[in-house]
């Protein structure tokens, strides 16, 4: 059907792809709008009001400014102080990690610390490391990692920024050829950094050699002004992380010397010959590192949120179970425990997951850097990708559950749950959007599955695909059996194995029907993502179990963590029960036993819930929450913080005299 409505928003510059989509509509949009409005007359009236209200400069909803300058200034002041203390006390990288964690909500120099420096460490030569790292550690050079562009973030092959080698001068010339090639998003780029690692397409003599990292000085080291050919700015306010100056960058014929291309794995000789060691993807090593770090940040986010919500749930009393009885702690409600304890268990599961992925990262980078052995890189990439995605998906969901568990007070900024939540949710997108990352893992799983069918050996994380699951029968016969870690692990592995096979079968069905590989991949991609999620969950659960079996701790601690681990594994089974049943991992009767045991464990966890949170040992200043303080004095804290609110500084605010009083007078005069 033709598009009979001509929306007022349509401008001659409307995107052509969007126009085309509108042309495929099969119904009259204006008629549907009238139905939604409640009739033609109401639509007309709404339109009249729209033209009156939305063009009024005072009422313009675009005016939602926050004081970015103040936030930026405050966090930079803190970052500068951290560096001062770092140098004064000679803090190690491990010390810095702890300090950044305790400062939590202020990462003014986060990208410098977490991406710029690690990128030089991983991709630079010994000479480049010696040249830049000492200066970076003392903040003489402050850097950003400038990869994402306005037009492309995920598809790195689509990046448009160019670095063209000129043999006559021995220089690279960097350019932003189009609007969409503008760097867009890099943290610290807008105002803080004086250097950038710019990820650009290398061109030599008219031939493209793929994405490489180039060290580009952006600002004068004397007065911080921008150098010729460089334009930067802030991309504007975001949902969270307001203290970071995520920026844009336009490069116009910026020249840098040949040794400013990070050359640990790829080189350009003076006469313009390109050579490389290992796979093209080795340039992605910094991303793998940050993805592993994100598992750690997800752990931070959930462990902080659950500490706040659990302490609050112990301190808060509301309602009674039986009329006339005293009010109960809200943690007595089973439904409340069912909000808190999955988050508590997930925090511990993610703790062991981040330990494992970081250990693997260190092992594999050592193999790469010391022996030029790239054998383990695909597995590491696959694991970092799915764990980054699973952990950040989980943390953003669970932090929100914790916030809601605190009722109305959870909505206050002073609870600090909203800030933890919005900051944390950034990492579902940053460093590789989660769906895209799950698809990367799925790619590895499909290859591994194919190898398993050919009887080839598989690396540790996918070895379960080689197991013969056809005769597997879940041994659960009683609620007690559900506590066994080997049983729980096998239930998860069997389901993961089924999901991988199901996705592989879907892919094969499409290919057999004549779809080209890329079409088949897209059509099977929902199943592929499901398989990667199942794989990630199985890994996290099995790793939790294995880590406990190797943990050097007393029996009381092992017992408590073991219960938590069983609960975590069972909870995931209940949440995704359809898949476990479909996989034949468990039967309907076994599902019921698992459900009973899962719920029974709430009472077992309950006596240790606060202590398990206390063990994270967050300082009250780090948690910065009126609800989550160690002493549980919630109401005093809420009232104290409210009193400090800027609106409460004056009994009658100037705004009253400015806006209300004169209006009252004007309205009265009209009567």
Ligand X SMILES: Cc1cc2nc3c(=O)[nH]c(=O)nc-3n(C[C@H](O)[C@H](O)[C@H](O)COP(=O)(O)OP(=O)(O)OC[C@H]3O[C@@H](n4cnc5c(N)ncnc54)[C@H](O)[C@@H]3O)c2cc1C
Ligand Y SMILES: CCCCCCCCCCCCCCCCCCCCCCCC(=O)SCCNC(=O)CCNC(=O)[C@H](O)C(C)(C)COP(=O)(O)OP(=O)(O)OC[C@H]1O[C@@H](n2cnc3c(N)ncnc32)[C@H](O)[C@@H]1OP(=O)(O)O
Task: State the nearest-atom distance from the C-beta of 419 to ligand X, in Å.
Answer: 14
Q: Which is nearer to ligand Y, 299 or 567 (CB)?
A: 299
Q: Which is nearer to ligand X, 175 or 286 (CB)?
A: 286
Task: State the nearest-atom distance from the C-beta of 430 to ligand X, in Å.
Answer: 4
Q: Are 156 and 231 in contact (CB under 8 A)?
A: no
Contacts of residue 301, defined as CB under 8 A and 6 or more positions apart, other chains included, come to: 395, 396, 399, 420, 421, 423, 424
Task: State the nearest-atom distance from the C-beta of 223 to ligand X, in Å.
Answer: 25
Look at residue 424 and give the partner it binds from ligand Y, ligand X, none, a contact being a CB closer than 5 to 8 Å depending on partner kind.
Answer: ligand Y
Q: Which is nearer to ligand Y, 136 or 430 (CB)?
A: 430
Residues carrying an active site annotation: 431
Task: State the nearest-atom distance from the C-beta of 242 to ligand X, in Å.
Answer: 11
Look at residue 156 and give the partner it binds from ligand Y, ligand X, none, a contact being a CB closer than 5 to 8 Å depending on partner kind.
Answer: ligand Y
Which residues on neighbouring strands pair with residue 621, listed in sequence order? Answer: none
Q: Which is nearer to ligand X, 123 or 591 (CB)?
A: 123
Query: Which of 117, 241, 298, 343 touches ligand X by CB under 6 A?
Result: 241
Look at residue 230 and give the partner it binds from ligand Y, ligand X, none, a contact being a CB closer than 5 to 8 Å depending on partner kind.
Answer: none
Q: Which is nearer to ligand Y, 251 or 364 (CB)?
A: 364
Q: Give me the residue whose beta carbon is nearest to ligand Y.
A: 110
Task: State the nearest-atom distance from the C-beta of 499 to ligand Y, in Å.
Answer: 19
Task: State the nearest-atom distance from the C-beta of 490 to ligand Y, in Å.
Answer: 28
Residue 652, helix vs strand vs coil: coil
Look at residue 435 and give the partner it binds from ligand Y, ligand X, none, a contact being a CB closer than 5 to 8 Å depending on partner kind.
Answer: ligand X
CA–CA separation, 187 and 238 (whole Å)? 12
Q: Are strands 247-251 and 230-234 parallel, antiparallel or unpaired?
A: antiparallel
Give the Cα-Cα-Cα angle 458, 460, 466 (nearest 5 degrees): 45
CA–CA separation, 144 and 1 (whole Å)? 50
For 42, the token pair is 């109401």
Kindly write down the DSSP assignment for every residue of 179-223, as one continuous string.
Answer: GGGSEE--TTTTTT-SEEEEEEEEEETTEEEEEEEEEEE-B-TTT
Task: Using alpha carbons, select from 401, 392, 349 the residue that is nearest to residue 572.
Answer: 349
For 564, the token pair is 């938590």
Residues contacting ligand X: total by CB under 6 A: 22
CA–CA separation, 392 and 623 (whole Å)? 19
Query: Which of 109, 430, 532, 627 touches ligand X by CB under 6 A?
Result: 430
For 354, the token pair is 């981040």
CA–CA separation, 611 and 603 (whole Å)? 15
Q: Which is nearer to ligand Y, 483 or 524 (CB)?
A: 524
N- to C-terminal Cα separation, the chain: 54
Q: Does 431 bind ligand X (CB under 6 A)?
A: yes
Q: Is the dihedral of CA 191, 195, 197, 203 positive or negative?
A: positive
Q: Is the dihedral of CA 87, 93, 98, 103 positive or negative?
A: positive
Q: Which is nearer to ligand X, 440 or 448 (CB)?
A: 440
Task: Using alpha carbons, select from 39, 136, 18, 20 the residue that is nearest to residue 87.
Answer: 136
For 429, the token pair is 């997108």
Q: Which is nearer to ligand Y, 281 or 369 (CB)?
A: 281
Task: State the nearest-atom distance from the C-beta of 143 to ligand X, in Å.
Answer: 10
Task: Using alpha carbons, select from 496, 493, 508 the residue that is nearest to residue 546.
Answer: 493
CA–CA separation, 101 and 110 (whole Å)? 11
Q: Which residue has the tokens 């305790």?
A: 102
Look at residue 100 and give the partner it binds from ligand X, ligand Y, none, a contact being a CB closer than 5 to 8 Å depending on partner kind.
Answer: ligand Y
Q: What is the pattern of x (binds ligand X, CB under 6 A) and - over residues 446-485?
A: ----------------------------------------
Burial class (CB in 10 A: 0-12, 13-18, 19+), 53: exposed
Q: Does 497 bind ligand X (CB under 6 A)?
A: no
Q: Which is nearer to ligand X, 298 or 345 (CB)?
A: 298
Beta carbons within 10 angstroms of residue 517's beta carbon: 10
Q: Give me the residue whose beta carbon is nearest to ligand X.
A: 153
Q: Which residues are annotated as a binding site for FAD?
A: 148, 187
CA–CA separation, 145 and 197 (whole Å)? 5
CA 454 from chain center: how many Å?
36
Q: Does 530 bind ligand X (CB under 6 A)?
A: no
Query: Which of 421, 432, 628, 629 touches ligand X by CB under 6 A?
Result: 432
Query: Which of 108, 111, 399, 500 touches ligand X by CB under 6 A?
Result: 111
Look at residue 616 and give the partner it binds from ligand X, ligand Y, none, a contact being a CB closer than 5 to 8 Å depending on partner kind.
Answer: none
Task: State the nearest-atom distance from the C-beta of 174 to ligand X, in Å.
Answer: 15
Residue 147, helix vs strand vs coil: coil
Look at residue 78 and give the partner it binds from ligand Y, ligand X, none, a contact being a CB closer than 5 to 8 Å depending on partner kind.
Answer: none
Site residues, ligand Y (CB under 6 A): 100-101, 104, 107, 110-111, 114-115, 145, 147-148, 153-157, 187, 241, 281, 284, 287-288, 290, 297, 300-301, 377-378, 381, 423-424, 426-427, 430-432, 436, 440, 443
- From the list 432-440, 591-599, 603-611, 636-644, the region that binds ligand X by CB under 6 A is 432-440
Task: State the nearest-atom distance from the C-beta of 10 to ligand Y, in Å.
Answer: 34
Q: Are 146 and 217 in contact (CB under 8 A)?
A: no
Site for ligand X in 144-163 (CB under 6 A): 145-148, 152-154
The residues of the shown chain that bind ligand X, judged by CB under 6 A, are 111, 145-148, 152-154, 185-187, 241, 246, 426, 429-433, 435-436, 439
């Amino acid at each position: 059907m033709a598009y009979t409505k001509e929306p007022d928003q349509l401008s001659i510059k409307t995107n052509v792809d969007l126009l085309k989509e509108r042309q495929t509509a099969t119904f009259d949009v204006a008629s549907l709008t009238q139905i939604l409005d409640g009739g033609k007359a109401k639509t007309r009236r709404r339109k009249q009001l729209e033209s009156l209200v939305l063009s009024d400069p005072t009422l313009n909803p675009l005016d939602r400014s926050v004081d970015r300058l103040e936030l930026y200034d405050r966090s930079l002041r803190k970052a500068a102080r951290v560096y001062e203390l770092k140098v004064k006390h000679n803090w190690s990288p491990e010390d810095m990690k702890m300090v950044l964690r305790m400062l939590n909500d202020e990462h003014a120099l986060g990208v410098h610390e977490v991406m710029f420096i690690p990128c030089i460490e991983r991709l630079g030569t010994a000479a480049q490391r010696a040249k830049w790292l000492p200066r970076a550690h003392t903040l003489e050079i402050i850097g950003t990692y400038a990869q994402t562009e306005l037009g492309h973030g995920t598809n790195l092959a689509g990046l448009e920024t160019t670095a063209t080698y000129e043999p006559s001068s021995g220089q690279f010339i960097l350019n932003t050829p189009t609007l969409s090639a503008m760097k867009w998003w890099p943290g610290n780029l807008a105002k803080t950094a004086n250097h950038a690692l710019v990820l650009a397409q290398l061109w030599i003599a008219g031939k493209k050699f793929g994405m490489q990292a180039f060290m580009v000085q952006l600002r004068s080291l004397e007065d911080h002004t921008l150098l010729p050919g460089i334009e930067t700015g802030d991309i504007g306010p975001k949902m969270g992380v307001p203290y970071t100056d995520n920026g844009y960058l336009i490069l116009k014929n910026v020249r840098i010397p040949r040794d400013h291309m990070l050359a640990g794995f790829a080189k350009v000789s003076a006469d313009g010959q390109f050579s490389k060691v290992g796979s093209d993807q080795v340039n992605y090593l910094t991303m793998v590192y940050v993805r592993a770090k994100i598992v750690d940040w997800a752990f931070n986010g959930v462990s902080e949120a659950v500490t706040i919500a659990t302490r609050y749930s112990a301190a808060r009393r509301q309602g009674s179970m039986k009329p006339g009885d005293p009010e109960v702690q809200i943690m007595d409600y089973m439904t409340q425990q069912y909000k808190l304890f999955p988050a508590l268990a997930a925090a511990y599961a993610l703790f062991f997951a981040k330990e494992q992925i970081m250990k693997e990262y260190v092992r594999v980078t050592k193999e790469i850097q010391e022996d030029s052995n790239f054998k383990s890189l695909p597995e590491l990439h696959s694991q970092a990708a799915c764990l980054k995605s699973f952990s950040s998906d989980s943390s953003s969901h669970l932090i929100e559950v914790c916030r809601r568990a605190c009722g109305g007070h959870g909505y206050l900024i002073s609870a600090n749950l909203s800030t933890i939540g919005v900051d944390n949710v950034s990492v579902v997108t940053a460093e590789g959007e989660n769906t895209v990352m799950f698809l990367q893992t799925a790619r590895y799983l499909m290859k591994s599955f194919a190898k398993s069918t050919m009887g080839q050996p598989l690396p540790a994380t996918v070895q379960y695909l080689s197991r013969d699951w056809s005769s597997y029968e879940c041994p659960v016969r009683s609620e007690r059996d559900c506590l066994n870690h080997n049983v729980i692990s096998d239930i998860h592995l069997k389901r993961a194995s089924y999901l991988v096979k199901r996705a592989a079968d879907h892919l094969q069905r499409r290919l057999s029907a004549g779809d080209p590989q890329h079409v088949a991949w897209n059509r099977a991609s929902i199943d592929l993502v499901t398989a990667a999620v199942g794989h990630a969950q199985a890994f996290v659960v099995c790793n939790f179990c294995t880590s406990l079996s190797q943990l050097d701790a007393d029996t009381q601690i092992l017992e408590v963590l073991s219960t938590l681990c069983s609960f975590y594994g069972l909870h995931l089974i209940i949440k995704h029960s359809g898949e476990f049943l479909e996989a034949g991992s468990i039967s309907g009767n076994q599902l019921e036993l698992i459900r009973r045991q899962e719920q029974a464990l709430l009472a077992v966890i309950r006596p240790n819930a606060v202590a398990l949170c206390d063990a994270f040992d967050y300082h009250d200043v780090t948690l910065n929450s009126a609800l989550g303080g160690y002493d549980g004095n919630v109401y005093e804290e809420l009232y104290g913080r409210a009193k400090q609110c800027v609106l409460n500084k004056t009994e009658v605010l100037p705004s009253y005299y400015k806006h209300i009083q004169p209006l009252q007078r004007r309205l009265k005069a009209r009567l």
